[in-house]
Chains A and B, each alone.
Chain A
Amino acid sequence: MARSSNLSSRSKVLVRRETRSAYLFLLPNMVFFIGFVVIPMILCIYTSFFDSTMGKDAKDIFIGFKNYAELWKDKIFLRSLKNTFVIVIVSVPAVCIFSLWVSAVIYKLKGPILSTFRCVFYLPVVTGSVAVTVVWKWMYNNYYGIFNYVGKGLGLIDKNINWLGDERFALWCIILILFTTSVGQPIVLYVSALGNVDTSLVEASEVDGATHFQQFWKIKWPLIMPTTLYILVITTINSFQCFALIQLLTSGGPNHSTDTVMYYIYYSAFKLYRYGYGNAMGVVLAIFIALLSALQFKLAKEK
């Protein structure tokens, strides 16, 4: 009896010591994580219930759910929500399919060739959103851009098009740039996932006379499913966050045809100084992303 209590008190000391050292190891990171991520998150939700503006003597006034109610009557917000969904619905499947195809072609190539291809498709990511955006702005330019030159040269268009200034094209122009800057990471992930597929399984299916197509769908596809899921989630989050492109290329114009939720948050908060309203949009956006991620997880699990 005495021995066991002695033991348990000793193990208690050990547990306490382990807990203390764990907290010490966590401390430096937690200062930044809690201070600059968790607290702002809580403040974001909190401020979304206030009519909050920035100013010397401006006071936050509690207005309950009024910001949220206003959102659903705000035509610009609804338009930006629609644009955001168009971007996500077009770019996420396009990025996934394209990167899977590229990876399937390159993953068996020799080391240096493989890494060259991988590097080239990663270039637009590394170049940085601002540098990429300014060069595309030049390429789309009405007078000096190569798109009009090549388009006319190939006979695809008969007169110069103001790509970014035309409501019909502006959003698609942005989706194209977003696409080129989004496939880099998925390709890296797919190449490594396909490289990890157990070759004995593939060989066994070859002996059984499976075609390449069958091999892919019946053996490789299920095995790389976790990677696909991860790619779906990160691409969705990335597409929702599309901001630099819009701010630098069109500022949401023409006629709000390229407004996204992220841009409209920026516009409301930093151009109109409506912080509370911007935060309410942020909360709605976060809920959409969470719902979509959960849905993707669920679908993938069922399969």
Chain B
Amino acid sequence: MNSDVKRTGIYKTISLIILVILAILFAFPLYWIVTGAFKTAASINATSPDWFPKEWVLDNFRKLFSKQTAPLWELGIPFSSKFTEDGNPIIFTAGPVVPAAIRWLVNTVFMAVMAMVLTCITAAMAGYALAKKRFKGQHLLFTLIVCAMALPKQVILIPLLREMSSLSLYNTIWAVIFPTVGWPFGVFLMKQFSEGVPGEMLEAARIDGAGEAKTFINIVLPMIKPGIGALAIFTFINSWNDYFMQLIMLNSTSKLTISLGIAKLQAENSTDFGLIMAGATLAAVPIIAIFIAFQKYFTQGIAMGAVKG
């Protein structure tokens, strides 16, 4: 018995040491991005790498922000080209002229926030209906949702591109937002959470004469809040980091997102690692900060969605 305890103690210590080493290796690429962004060109191109920057410089960021300029804010109204006389979409621009990299960041934030808000609202409503209502076609709809979730998202990108160009949404940020909102994971997650709302409470609200909308806002929403929080952060991070859909749907420089922007930097300056790392820092640091701030909701949400599913 004693030797068994001792053995598991040793085993535990060794595993922990291995784990710490692994954790360092996993964090290393991120460390390399951020330090690389602040290194001098000489330090980056040295054959024996500087593990820690000898001198911190902003050259790479200066270079990143010196490239092309665009107005800070540009908003195209979806489908507006169908209604204007000359067939051009209605576009609002505002703000001073800024470097393209800033514009990429603004585009990315807009895209991620929009996708997040639309997904949360529509998925919460649909998830509630699927969990708590009985209606014709319910079973069929749920089967369709589960099947769609198991399919690779990218397979539908080719027909999606043609659909977007026939809707004149191609090369607008909406072409990326709309399919993200339609992706059924959100509905699935919200259904799992809505199952937990007790039927008696809904019944009581109905007897009290509360309408459907009131019941949903006053009773259901507060109860599924943790689920909405998880879905919000999940959608935000996913759409911030998505690449394939953005690559296919967007192409003009001012419309790029930060992911596409870095890919473009890499394609144009393939060995200027400092510049590329500056771009990568700009993309990664905000999203990591958001992730760490909301970590708790996020991990809870992933776990609950899976356990209940």
Contact = CB atoms under 8 A, between A and B. Distances in A.
A37 to B, nearest CB: 5
A144 B187 CA distance: 46
Contacts, number: 269
Interface in B138-161: 138, 141, 144-145, 148, 150-160
B224 interface: no
Contacts of A171: none
Interface in B280-309: 280, 283-284, 287-288, 291-292, 295-296, 299, 302-303, 306-307, 309
B133 A21 contact: yes
B159 A189 contact: no
Interface residues of B, number: 94
B30 A127 contact: yes
Nearest to A98: B22
A192 interface: yes
Interface stretch (A72-80, A87-95, A282-290): A282-290
Interface stretch (A1-9, A61-69, A129-137): A129-137
Contact of B159 (A24, A30, A279): A279
A139 B32 contact: yes
Contacts of A241: 152-154
Interface of B: 4, 8, 12, 15-16, 19, 22-23, 26-27, 29-30, 32-33, 36, 44-49, 118, 121-123, 125-126, 128-130, 133-136, 138, 141, 144-145, 148, 150-160, 162-163, 178-179, 181-184, 186-187, 212, 216, 237, 240-241, 243-244, 247-248, 259-260, 262-263, 266, 271, 273, 276-277, 279-280, 283-284, 287-288, 291-292, 295-296, 299, 302-303, 306-307, 309
Interface of A: 15, 18-19, 21-26, 28-30, 32-41, 43-44, 47, 54, 102, 105-106, 115, 117-124, 126-132, 134-139, 141, 143-144, 146, 149, 180, 185, 188-189, 191-193, 196, 211-212, 226-227, 230, 233, 237, 240-241, 243-244, 247-248, 262, 265-266, 269-270, 275, 278-279, 282-283, 285-286, 289-290, 293
